[in-house]
Amino acid sequence: MPTPTASARLADARLYLCTDARTTRGDLAAFADAALSGGVDVIQLRDKGIEARQELAALDVLAEACERHGRLLAVNDRADVAHAAGADVLHLGQDDLPVPAARALLGPDVLIGRSCHAEAEVDAAAVEPGADYFCTGPVWPTPTKPGRPAPGLDLVRHAAALGTPRPWFAIGGIDLGNLPEVLAAGARRIVVVRAITEAPDPYEAAAALARTIRRAEPSPA
Ligand SMILES: Cc1ncc(COP(=O)(O)OP(=O)(O)O)c(N)n1
Ligand SMILES: Cc1nc(C(=O)O)sc1CCOP(=O)(O)O
Ligand SMILES: [Mg+2]
């Protein structure tokens, strides 16, 4: 069977994890392996303080794990690092590089995602040329992104009402306990940080989230 393209894997993705390099714990490889075995579809390295050289070293570790599990590797913010790491995905916020500039650097094969925090940003990202997916958040205020106001479930409902074929994810404060509210608002893909990075058992945490999302999907006609 041919290997699915990155776009096809993104379309199938339901659970997206952002993690730091776990430098103090020193367990990035084992952590990534557990999360991917549990059902994470995309792993992004999001470590805001890290130097580019250390970022590349951590991305090497994640790339090996993603390759072994057939999942997508994402880089946050930096197109140069995404290129150097051979990443599948670059994630851009509203204040990061514009999509056309990133696309010009990365070529057609790397997927590009966008963060959205307001209805107008969602409307734009759903049709923005060169973008492959978008995220809506924060759904709840979160210590992972301090100071960012939360547009909440209303923005999730707004994205769902668009009925866009472009994949989109809800992010911010999501855990197994409140996931049913996110699903009820119409999301079918989520991004989490603490729900897996701080879980005592990352495999179980990922598996429970993935199971809950997949269960919410309408059964085929
Ligand atoms: C998958 C995903 N969604 C949203 C974000 C947030 O991006 P941004 O708004 O640029 O904030 P930082 O993460 O860069 O602090 C993300 N990184 N990944
Ligand atoms: C990195 C990030 N971006 C957000 C956005 O709204 O774009 S919310 C967020 C943090 C999500 O972390 P947690 O799952 O620990 O709440
Ligand atoms: Mg950013």
Gap between the Cα atoms of 6 and 214, Å rounded: 20
The architecture (CATH level 2) of 6-216 comes to Alpha-Beta Barrel (3.20)
109 annotated as a binding-site residue = no
* Residue 90 and residue 111 in contact, taking contact as beta carbons nearer than 8 Å: yes
* Residue 101 and residue 79 in contact, taking contact as beta carbons nearer than 8 Å: yes
**pLDDT band at 220, cuts 50/70/90?**
very low
Which two three-digit tokens encode residue 5? 């393209």
- Read off the pLDDT of each residue in 194-210 and give the average, rounded to a whole number: 98
Q: List CB contacts of 11: < 8 A, sequence separation 6 or more.
A: 167
Name residues contacting ligand 2 (CB within 6 A): 18, 115, 117, 135, 137-138, 142, 144-145, 148, 171-174, 192-195
**pLDDT band at 171, cuts 50/70/90?**
very high
**pLDDT band at 217, cuts 50/70/90?**
confident
From the number of C-beta atoms within 10 Å of its C-beta (0-12, 13-18, 19+), residue 45 rates as buried
> Complex ipTM, two decimals?
0.99
User: In this structure, which ligand is nearest to the CA of 91?
Assistant: 1
Give the global pTM: 0.97
Q: In the chain, what are the domain boundaries?
A: 6-216
Q: How far is the CA of 2 from the centre of ligand 1 (A)?
A: 32
Name residues contacting ligand 1 (CB within 6 A): 16, 18, 44, 46, 76-77, 91, 93, 96, 113, 115, 135, 171, 191
Helix/strand/coil for 59: helix
Gap between the Cα atoms of 150 and 169, Å rounded: 15
Q: What is the pLDDT of residue 4?
A: 87
Which residue is it, tokens 């997508």? 72
pLDDT higher than 70, residue 178: yes
Q: How many helices (H) and strands (E) does the chain have?
A: 10, 8
Which two three-digit tokens encode residue 73? 């590797």
The DSSP element (H or E) to which 26 belongs, if any, is none
Which atom of ligand 1 is closest in space to residue 137's alpha carbon?
A: 4
* Residue 35 and residue 16 in contact, taking contact as beta carbons nearer than 8 Å: no
User: In this structure, which ligand is nearest to the CA of 150?
Assistant: 2
Gap between the Cα atoms of 166 and 149, Å rounded: 25
